[in-house]
Structure 1
């Protein structure tokens, strides 16, 4: 198991409850677009990668035949299973597993989803190749994730603050990088939409249990950021916070 995977497990095990109760993770505008873009007919098998506490899988379960959520963190899988039982959704199940080694036969899945988890994948190319492998010809992959700006300085700043807040962060990829990675895996990709996600700084670091010394460093980075960066991320000081882009992407496995 990779060191990145171990860090993700260590980071997200103690914070599972916070992600169950996060309003964005439970009902952000990107989730509605992701689900509607799947074009469900009610017969589909869906696999949700990096399912976390199950919000995306359970939203899909209301429209598909069966949904299986995969996550490396046992506490997240337990939380998702409990949420499915609470909502009486018997067609959703959750398993501990790695997105880079999916336990499904080739060409056996109709839809693969991944929502705000891909920036934790240690090898996104391998994860995308696995998604491509398990999808049937004509199958769909829907991804929603934090997307870095194309400007190199803004990209660097964004990923620096993400890593300071959460040491299991790997990378927020640019939209152009996503299109290249999806195409390299064999998909025909498109960026459907970008949403601004307004973050309250105190809540953002509390959810991840960021140590106080790193919170202080984050506040310093925001305070000392140049005017262009402050404008790009809509940096606010009282209460402190900023705005980040969420991109929703759709990728088709050619028939």
Structure 2
């Protein structure tokens, strides 16, 4: 399963480096502020994707390891960091479920819009806790599913049609349970919303036209309540819930 995910993202690295959705946002600003206030020296950007977390925190830390399972993504981040003059950014390859780092290696571990692709979320969270030093900072940001069952089903379906490597958007209630089981204390949870433009959303993942049509068909066929909950427009653009968890 992990190799399947990397195969999906290997040809798309540059698209994620250049993605406007990933490059900015209040969630990213909050994450950078938390790292700066914590005084972290060595930071792990787990599932770094286009590297936007690494770029955002680099100026306030001694070293940030941008770790992604996709080799082309890590190379693209290295190139972009060099272009920006961010020598603090060091790329690495590794899966969340089996990180290639020693215990307690990092003062802070950060992850943004990555965990919904992890093949084994529980194992990934245990690894996160292993490589984070005692008392260190964890910041997790991810898209989350609605607690409403029908809206949850619709969201998971359109996410999978768009990108077959999608594992699951977890509900906030599920995140609370899973983080506690992994041994984390949740200091704060901030829930937000993220507007997605349909054309760029499917463009980043090179979603086949047939799958795009299926997404639009499902969006139009679902109940008015779900359409309102997800703020679905006629062109397929919609709004996702996201959550930021501060962990110790």
Q: Does the alignment reach a TM-score above 0.5?
A: yes
Aligned pair in 2 of structure 1 residues 219, 211: CA closer, same or farther (>3 Å)?
Answer: same
Runs (5+) with no aligned partner, structure 2? none
Residues 40, 63 of structure 1: 8 Å contact kept: no
Post-superposition shift, 1:203?
A: 1.2
Aligned pair in 2 of structure 1 residues 43, 214: CA closer, same or farther (>3 Å)?
Answer: closer
Structure with greater helix share of residues: 2
Q: Number of paired residues?
A: 248
SS at match of 1:15: helix
Residues 30, 246 of structure 1: 8 Å contact kept: no
Residues 7, 167 of structure 1: 8 Å contact kept: no
**What's the RMSD between the two structures over aligned residues?**
1.3
Q: After alignment, is 190-199 or 169-178 more displaced?
A: 190-199
TM-score (norm 2): 0.96
Q: How does 1:93-172 map to 2 (within 5 A)?
A: 93-172=90-169
Post-superposition shift, 1:106?
A: 1.3
Residues 20, 79 of structure 1: 8 Å contact kept: yes
Once the two structures are superposed, residues 53-78 of structure 1 have per-residue CA deviations (whole angstroms, 9 ceiling, x without a partner) of 21111211111111001111111001
Once the two structures are superposed, residues 130-170 of structure 1 have per-residue CA deviations (whole angstroms, 9 ceiling, x without a partner) of 11111111111101100001111111111111001000000
Alpha-carbon distance in structure 2 between the residues aligned to 1:233 and 1:72: 31
Runs (5+) with no aligned partner, structure 1? none
SS at match of 2:96: coil
Alpha-carbon distance in structure 2 between the residues aligned to 1:206 and 1:132: 35
Residues 96, 127 of structure 2: 8 Å contact kept: yes
Post-superposition shift, 1:42?
A: 4.9
